[in-house]
Chains A and B, each alone.
Chain A
Amino acid sequence: MDSNKIKLLLTKYLEGSTSLSEEETLRLYFKTTENIPSEWEGYRMFFGYFDLAKTERYPKGRGKQKFGFRPWMAVAAIIAVIFSIQFYSSQHPTLSPDQKEAQLAFMQFKSNMMKVSSHFNKGAEKVAYLDYWNSTTQKLIK
């Protein structure tokens, strides 16, 4: 492409009076011509940018996304169910009748022992009072 013609087109371009096809000529010139006057480097840059900007797309990840059912999801769900059952049963072991009876007996024994210990404590308080009385009487004796 003759650079004089390009110069003419550029003047028209700056005036806003080039047609779309003339602008296409310019775009092609800057894209394919290696050696151009240095003051035209800016045009090359801008046309290059415009080309690139046109390829920008709306991001794929956005918008309506269909949730596709996959076979591996079924397998994963089954495995998850099995593991959760196993985990649950390991946390809450089921008791046999004998064990239940033993547990009940233990609970009764425990509550009895609690009662005994509370009475025992009452007794201990009295003993402590007795001790106090003792010491005061001894002071008097002296």
Chain B
Amino acid sequence: MQLIADQQFLDQIQDIRDKVFRITKRILVSQEEAEDATQEVIIKLWNLGHEKRNGFKSIEAYSVTMAKNHCLDRLKSKQAQVLTFDEAIAVPKTVSLQKEIEATDDLNWVTHLINQLPEKERMIIQLREIEHYDFDQIASILEIPEGTVRVYLSRTRKKLRNQFLEIQKHGL
């Protein structure tokens, strides 16, 4: 009986694990850290036990919220490292960036633009544009009002568009 429950968990978890991985990677940026964070989230889910897991309205929403909290805690607890991480992605928009953009393909360039956003905006982009969540789902995951989600999303979309236009003007 336990074995069947375990197998169910593994099947159920596949999609969730991929989602959690994408979201943790968006927040933490580093591939390895995202892998570790994903494993920790999965282990926490596992430790909840079969009964409790099935009691949730949506195990996916619960997992994603857990992933988000885990990542934010991680960023907070490693202030020093967060600093270097911010430095690493905040490349000044100078000639060197222009060269870098030309050297890399479009997708790397989009990754770069998104990764330099503040983490809240990165999360919003991930949840809406990539995972296609409803506004109320995003609101409950991020624990902010729906109106705020829309404001953040609008601001982030405009920001990305303007950055694109600016670079396009300089001839990409």
Q: Which residue of A lies closest to B110 (CB)?
A: A49
Q: How far is the CB of A138 from chain B (nearest CB, A)?
A: 88
Q: How far is the CB of A61 from chain B (nearest CB, A)?
A: 10
Which residues 93-109 in B have Cβ within 8 Å of A in the complex?
106-107
Q: Is B165 an interface residue (CB 8 A)?
A: yes
Which residues of the other chain, B, contact A48 by a CB distance below 8 angstroms?
Answer: 106-107
- The answer for the CA separation of A129 and B18 in the assembled complex, in Å, is 93
- The answer for the CA separation of A45 and B164 in the assembled complex, in Å, is 10
Q: Is A123 an interface residue (CB 8 A)?
A: no
Interface of B (DSSP majority class): helix
For chain B, the count of residues having a C-beta within 8 Å of the partner chain is 34
Q: Could you say which interface size class chain A belongs to?
A: 20 to 34
Q: How far is the CB of B88 from chain A (nearest CB, A)?
A: 20
Q: Mark B122-164, 1 if CB is under 8 A from A, else 0.
A: 0000000111101000000000000001111111011011001
Q: List 10 A-B contacts (CB under 8 A).
A: A14-B154, A14-B157, A41-B168, A45-B110, A46-B129, A49-B107, A53-B22, A57-B21, A58-B35, A63-B42
Hey, which bits of chain B sit against chain A, CB under 8 A? 17-18, 20-22, 25, 35, 38-39, 42, 106-107, 110-111, 114, 129-132, 134, 149-155, 157-158, 160-161, 164-165, 168
